[in-house]
Amino acid sequence: MGSIIDGKAISTALYEEMRQEVEQFDKQYGRRPGLTVIIVGEDPASQVYVRNKEINARKVGLVSEVIRMPEETTQDELLEVIARLNADTAVDGILVQLPVPRHIDKDTVIAAVAPDKDVDGFFGMKSGFTMKQGYVAPCTPRACIHLIKTTGEAIEGKHALVVGRGELVGKPVATLLLNENATVTIAHSRTRNLGEIARTADIIIAAVGRPNIITGDMVKPGAILIDVGINRGVDGKLCGDIDFASAAEKAGWITPVPGGVGPMTIAMLIRNTLDCYLGHVS
């Protein structure tokens, strides 16, 4: 049975480390890092995500603000708020909670956030497989790398399989793995012989959004399995892209769903905010 990579426990320890950092920053630089989250509309899931971000930001001592804007907010009105925050030296990180209403162009809004305050890490990713130096990485991909490193296993030289080619997780996490000197294969829902490829992988990151696309017979003994998927099974329960029960029998380490990558994603948002802050004060 593989060891569980407990994202909840790991994130709790990380929050305490960051809380101590923030205390030191306040003494050294005379102010605390500031994070502002903008949410437009009343999407229920977004409301939950934003509330969790606010709670955890305050837990580590950030100056945290949530700007709630009505559904009928125009794109120009939203851009005006972003421009004001870009100019505010007390704000180190800006996050626009997605999705935004249909009448607002997501890409225009994302591009409006100052690159040095982009705690979502969108600006840091160039087209292709490189990261812009000096900018933060996207939160979920960064969380995946952090969780792998908690196993104590080196990433360098390993064969890493990323299942999923999305712009938010698949491609960025492949880039981060390459930066760690892994040999990276990207697969997806249409990949032929996925099982054959998976059985050669020392690390599998599943982020395709299809329940149980990775099963135990596809896992190399001792592999590290990171499950980014959040799905509803036929029984209505949350499940990942990896069949946990069968895969855990073969894996060396495995993340659960829920309780794996999810808690770490918000922790990495806070980490990104601290990194942006350091870029501003140093």
Q: Centre a 10 Å sphere on the Cβ of residue 123 and count the other Cβ atoms it contains.
A: 18
Catalytic residue, chosen from 92, 117, 118, 120, is 120
Q: Is 250 a catalytic residue?
A: no
Give, rounded to a whole angstrom, the gap between the first and last alpha carbons of the chain. 46
DSSP annotation of 138: P
* Residue of 92, 97, 118, 227 marked catalytic: 97
Contact between 164 and 170 under an 8 Å Cβ cutoff? The reply is yes
DSSP-based three-state secondary structure for 115: helix
Q: Per 3-state DSSP, what percentage of the chain is helix, strand, and coil (rounded to 5)?
A: 40, 15, 40
Known active-site residue 47: no
Confirm whether 171 is a catalytic residue.
no
Give the span between the Cα atoms of 267 and 7, in whole angstroms: 10
Enzyme catalytic residues: 53, 97, 120
